[in-house]
A and B are shown apart, each in its own frame.
Chain A
Amino acid sequence: MRSSSSSSASSFSAKRRKPNPKTSFQRSSFTDFGSYMAEKNRKLRSQFEEEASSSSILNCEASSSGKGKGIFHGVSIFVDGHTVPSSQELRVYMLRHGGRLENYFSRSRVSHIICSNLPDSKMRNFRAFSRGLPVLRPAWVVDSVAANKLLNWSPYQIVEQSSEIYKQTKLSAFLRCKNISSIKDAEVSSDPNDEVDPEYLEKSEGTPLPLESKVFDQPIQVNDEFGLEKGAQFTTLLGEGTEVEASNATSTQLSIHLSSRIDDVSVDAVSSEEPTNPKCLQASDVHHSTLTDPDFVENYFKHSRLHFIGTWRNRYRRRFCNTLERNCSKDNASSISTNKSYIIHIDMDCFFVSVILRKYPELIDKPVAVCHSNNSKGTAEISSANYPARGYGIRAGMFVRDAKNCCPNLFVFPYDFIAYEEVADQFHSILHKHCNNVQALSCDEAFLDITECDYDDPENFASMIRKEIVETTQCTASAGIAGNLLIARLATKIAKPNGQCFIPPEKVEHFLDDLPITTLPGVGHALGDKLEIRKIRTCRQLRLVPKEALHKDFGVKVGDMLWKYCRGIDDRKVEVLKETKSIGAEVNWGVRFRNTMDCEHFLDNLSKEVASRLRECGVVARTVNLKVKKRRKGAKEPAKFMGCGDCENLSRSMTLPVATDDATLIRRIAKQIFSSYHLDAKEVRGVGLQMSRLETLDVNKQGHKHNVIESWLMIPAKVGEVTFRPESRRVVAESLCSSEEKLPGMQRHGPLHENSQLYFDRAAAGTETLYINLVDSRSSENAVSKLPPVSHLDMSVIKDLPAEIISEMNVAYNGKLYDLMKKHDEDQKNNGILLITPPKVIGGKKLEPDATNTSGRSSCELIKPKKAEAFEMMLHQVEKPEVSCSNLNILQMKSTTCTDPLDWASGHSSKAVLLAQNISDDTNLDKSVSRQGVLCHSASVAGDSLWNIPKDIESGVSEKFKNNLWSGSPPKWVEKFEVSNYLILNLIAQLYTKFGAVGLLSPTLQSLISLYPFILGSNGDEPDEPRLYLCELLLQYINHKIDSDIEELYLCCRLLERLTAISNFFSEVYSAFLSRLQVSVSENYGGTLQLTGCGD
């Protein structure tokens, strides 16, 4: 890459430099840069040839493969960019084996381009870069040298990047793979033999496309060097070409590339090319972290080998369901007669590799590994390596990088899940054919209990099975035969690869004697290290330790296991299928979050994945466990690309009252647990969600599982026949989650809401009576969910509700609510007016400003406060947008026009009183009120005037009311009210004795709000006397409480305000109270009480 770009650059710069006489090569006879380069190339070639002749003479015997020519005869490579081995080493290979190495790219002389990596730009303009030459990985050269023959280069190709940017095949690609794979096979077979004849090379090298040559003859001849820009031009020209060109292409690779440009259909062909030629594009593959890929979870599991193995079990279960069940029933009877039983452990040899190698028989002796990525710098882990590769020290779990260091000519292939599935199925069907008692451990591994089978000799039986496996799957398997599972498994290790080992019971002890402890299953690093400290390395040494000591050191369970295993005892039976204990999904790779939002999104997807897995297995689970890997403090970015690195593991679980497989519920719990960790989202490196305590779900009942609660709430009549029994638990579960979600919306059905809350509580208690409750409550639901009649609604409450809820309710009442509210408002208004002018009835909805004025003028002492109240009402209405009477406009107009600078707000009561008098003398009350524009102020003015009234009347009407109504316990007034003739006063006294234990009036008023309509009705014709008594009581209450508890007074004020909505009786009381309260507050606290919503 370096040289090609520099050459193209220099070719341009040369033109610029041409007139400059002072350049270094001016001294020689070159006239321009082109001739200089030609001379240089010639010189380099002669140098190369000299060296080649000397070195090939030296290595004559070694290099010549019988023909006297080097294996690379006719090959001329151009090395682009950094390679492993380096271009110098490749040069030496070329020197020794008859090839050439061109220092500068030339279409006419170079036959192969060698490079390890291609930058993205070149990948995109692949054709411009390659000029139709094969672009190969350096491994081709190395392997050819190793094989001492020129290998077919097609597996080494670096394939052009197409629209398919994944280097890894997706499962979806395999859905259409049948025909493609046939194409591919044809391709491979159509290639000439391993030894490429020079003619073929000549052909592929020298025959570019007809069109291509037409277009490009000129630049090639003239310039000898290719500029990238010209290459780009070339691509566009080709893109406009027709399919004819594609068919003219000589090399398959070329045709594929071409056709991929020309029509979209052949994209498939390119994707089929990918598995054979894994690209090294890790860096450019952007979709590999949670940061960039919204569907990360889905894609992750599509590409995960562990996921494949995990889900394989389910597939297996389904596939072999019938045979398994048959065996289960038989199992009990058979287990008695296990006198001389034999177990075969059978395991495919490097399964993941050998399945791949079925298609590449020529690579069978080469080191091959399976891995996500073939990037020699990559940190993808080798999942499986064949035996030649293991010879180089390559192990599963190694990074590709390290593996490539161990063995530079390692072949790395990506997974081919479809093929694995196919082979695994074949493998297991063979086992099931021969033996009824099969325990599948994994997709490539199983135990066979052959006690029942007809066989003469276990060894023959095993080899028969193995032979059949090889014939059917073209993959080898190894087998261990012994008396129990443990020894059979250990025997397989010895048997590998492709062999079998029989350990009869009498030889077990000898076999175990020198066996290292760590080879025993269940003995890992941790346990091995502990034993190592005690200098126990082999089973023989372990046998010397008494059982008690093992119990003491390792606990009963592990101790027992060690004691038994080192003696070769294993009581486990071949179990046909182990019950699934938990279902979950865990992602520990590529997890990077920017913020909590990302996390939640990820949990979302993970919950969906887990829920779908639960459904697949037809189970529901009760316990949710969330594992989180958190970057350990100070841990660096992990060596493995996007890996989890050094992490702290956090794990918490939560058990639900009822089992579920509902994604939303799982998500909610998961989020809850996640938030309980209090993690920084950036620190999270892995998340695992696992569901345990599984309960099987009756598959037949699944039909009802969705929307049960919805239908329940919306159309209660229709849910006549919800089937209960095992399923009803899930009904409840769903009702729980959805009722929670619905709570805000459900608040308008007060009782309903309570009911669902009830369910929640009961469900939490987990009572079995749930079913009954459900049935019962369903019937009651019908009654309950009916709306209360409109007339029962408390308008003052409704008014305070948020607008959305009001509109929702309005819909529920078919629009009656708005009408009612409007009516209510008007009523209030009219009431006010009626009060102002009792003799005159100003009917109609419009409030005439004139009328108010006149009423104001005709004011007697009594009417004044009422009038003020009316204004207050009006002002109240100003705030309400839905009232649009003309009088409002008038009021507002006044408030803006009025500029009378009457200073009245100092808060001193004397002033206020004075002012009130002013106002009553002057008839422009409305003006002064509207000028304030604030409710509380108008009220205080009105109140001031009112305050005087009761006193006046008091002298005339009620002698018995003296000041100290509130003294004593219970206060004096209670008694007086009780004996009063007025029902309302009796009621208040009764309520007070009931609620007023702490000497507060507010509880009494509160209960009065709910009781008043029932006991007294909305009867506004109460005589004046009780009103005056009540006023007096409240005013004295203010005096009583003002210095200690304005909170209580404030509360009373609010309650009275609500009472005004119920009965006119209280309107007057309220305004009197309010005004007096404001005065008292300003006396004592130097301010006025703010009634919410007015001041801001």
Chain B
Amino acid sequence: MDRKNVTPQGQTARILVEFLEVAINCIVFLKGFYPAGAFERRRYMNVVVQKARHPQLDNYIHSATSELLPFIQKVAGLIERVAVIFYDKDHIPVERFVFKLVISQPYSSTVEENDLQFALRAFLLKLTVSKPLTKSLPPGSSWEITAYFRALPDENNDTKVQMWVPTDTKQWLQPPCIIPIKSMSSEPLKVQLYIEHPSPTELKDQNR
């Protein structure tokens, strides 16, 4: 029983992680954070996507996403959101791309890999045309990948947990404005991608 379930679950998690890696690459490219030359065109799920060429950048995204795998795989649903956060020079977030993940805990139904890929493909397609929705970055900005855990993982158990450090990222005081980009819900997995911008009142507060 247990054994039987692991495989599709692992499969879903693997696809999801892979997808996150590609999507984050695309987001960073979309924001124009690095010159376009730092990316190369690749094909993923039959969609043209951009992949970082710089080894360090590529490695950061790859390791960040692949370190999520155990938490998605083993303790399904431990991760609530994965956010790509862009900061201004004072390390105040200006824009957040949030992947909200819901993985239903007990799932017996086998996942059709093709269906999942088809659904995730729509994200990548939508992402490539989402440039107008985003804000331009101020000079001196930075970005990072942040994962929101539902509970703090047990550090003693797993060495890989140590790869993740708790952050004290500054939060917005006001609830942000949300722009949905894409949502999908197939049975074991629900993914939503949306952009968060600081609310206009927030900006006024900052200016004050």
Q: Which residues of A contact B (CB under 8 A)?
A: 905-907, 934, 936, 1043-1050, 1081-1082, 1085-1090, 1092, 1095-1096
Contact = CB atoms under 8 A, between A and B. Distances in A.
7 contacts: A936-B177, A1044-B185, A1046-B178, A1087-B176, A1087-B177, A1087-B199, A1095-B199
A1090 B197 CA distance: 9
A1045 B176 CA distance: 18
A853 to B, nearest CB: 25
Interface stretch (B20-28, B68-76, B85-93, B188-196): B188-196
B175 A1044 contact: no
B132 to A, nearest CB: 9
Nearest to B132: A1092
A1088 B199 contact: yes
B27 to A, nearest CB: 17
Contacts of B185: 1044-1045
Contact of A1085 (B174, B194, B201): B194
B199 A1045 contact: no
B175 A1087 contact: yes
Nearest to B202: A905
B interface: dominant SS: strand
A1047 B175 contact: no
Contacts of B194: 1046-1047, 1085
Contact of A1043 (B102, B179, B201): B102
B192 A1047 contact: yes
Among B190, B192, B200, the most chain A Cβ lie within 10 Å of the Cβ of B200
Given A1045-B192, A1088-B199, 6 more contacts: A907-B175, A1044-B183, A1046-B178, A1088-B175, A1089-B178, A1090-B179
A479 B180 CA distance: 85
Contacts of B201: 905
A208 B41 CA distance: 77
Contacts of A1085: 100, 178, 194
Contact of A1088 (B177, B182, B190): B177
Interface in B130-155: 135
B200 A934 contact: yes
Contacts of A1043: 102, 190
A612 to B, nearest CB: 39
A1082 B196 CA distance: 12
Interface string B147-187: 00000000000000000000000000011111111110100
A1087 B201 CA distance: 13
A1088 B194 CA distance: 12
Contacts of A1089: 177-180
B176 A1086 contact: yes
Interface in B71-119: 100, 102
Contacts of A1088: 175-178, 199
A1049 B181 CA distance: 12
Nearest to A1043: B102
A130 B20 CA distance: 81
The 7 A-B pairs at the shortest CB distance, nearest first, are namely A907-B175, A1090-B177, A1087-B176, A1047-B183, A1045-B183, A1044-B185, A1047-B180
Given A1044-B185, A1046-B194, A1086 B175 contact: yes
B174 A906 contact: yes
Contact of B102 (A934, A1044, A1081, A1082): A1044
Nearest to B96: A1087
B85 to A, nearest CB: 14
A905 B175 CA distance: 7
A708 to B, nearest CB: 37
Nearest to B182: A1047
Interface centre among B102, B183, B190 (most CB of A within 10 A): B183
Contacts of B178: 1046, 1081, 1085, 1087-1090
B133 to A, nearest CB: 8
B16 to A, nearest CB: 16
Contacts of A1050: 180
Contacts of B181: 1047
B73 to A, nearest CB: 22
A899 to B, nearest CB: 12
B174 A1046 contact: no
Nearest to A907: B175
A905 B192 CA distance: 25
Given A1047-B183, A1090-B197, A1095-B197, A905 B177 contact: no
Contacts of B179: 1089-1090, 1092
Contacts of B199: 905, 1087-1088, 1095
A362 B174 CA distance: 98
A1092 B177 CA distance: 10
Given A1047-B180, A1048-B183, A1087 B190 contact: no
A1092 B179 CA distance: 8
A108 to B, nearest CB: 71
B184 to A, nearest CB: 8
Contacts of A1081: 178
B183 A1095 contact: no
Contacts of A1082: 175
Contacts of A1096: 135
A1044 B192 contact: yes
A1043 B184 CA distance: 11
A222 to B, nearest CB: 70
Contacts of A905: 174-175, 199, 201
B192 A906 contact: no
Contacts of B192: 1044-1047
A887 B151 CA distance: 53
Nearest to B81: A1085
A1046 B190 contact: no
A1082 B178 CA distance: 9
Contacts of A1044: 102, 183, 185, 190, 192
A906 B201 CA distance: 11
B189 to A, nearest CB: 10
B139 to A, nearest CB: 19
A235 B180 CA distance: 80
A827 B126 CA distance: 37
B177 A906 contact: no
Nearest to B191: A1044
Contact of B200 (A907, A1047, A1049, A1095): A1095
Contacts of A1087: 175-178, 196, 199
Nearest to B194: A1046
Nearest to A932: B201
Contacts of A1046: 178, 180, 183, 192, 194
A797 B178 CA distance: 24
A989 B182 CA distance: 26
- Residue of A906, A1050, A1085 contacting most chain B CB atoms (<10 Å): A1085
A906 B171 CA distance: 13
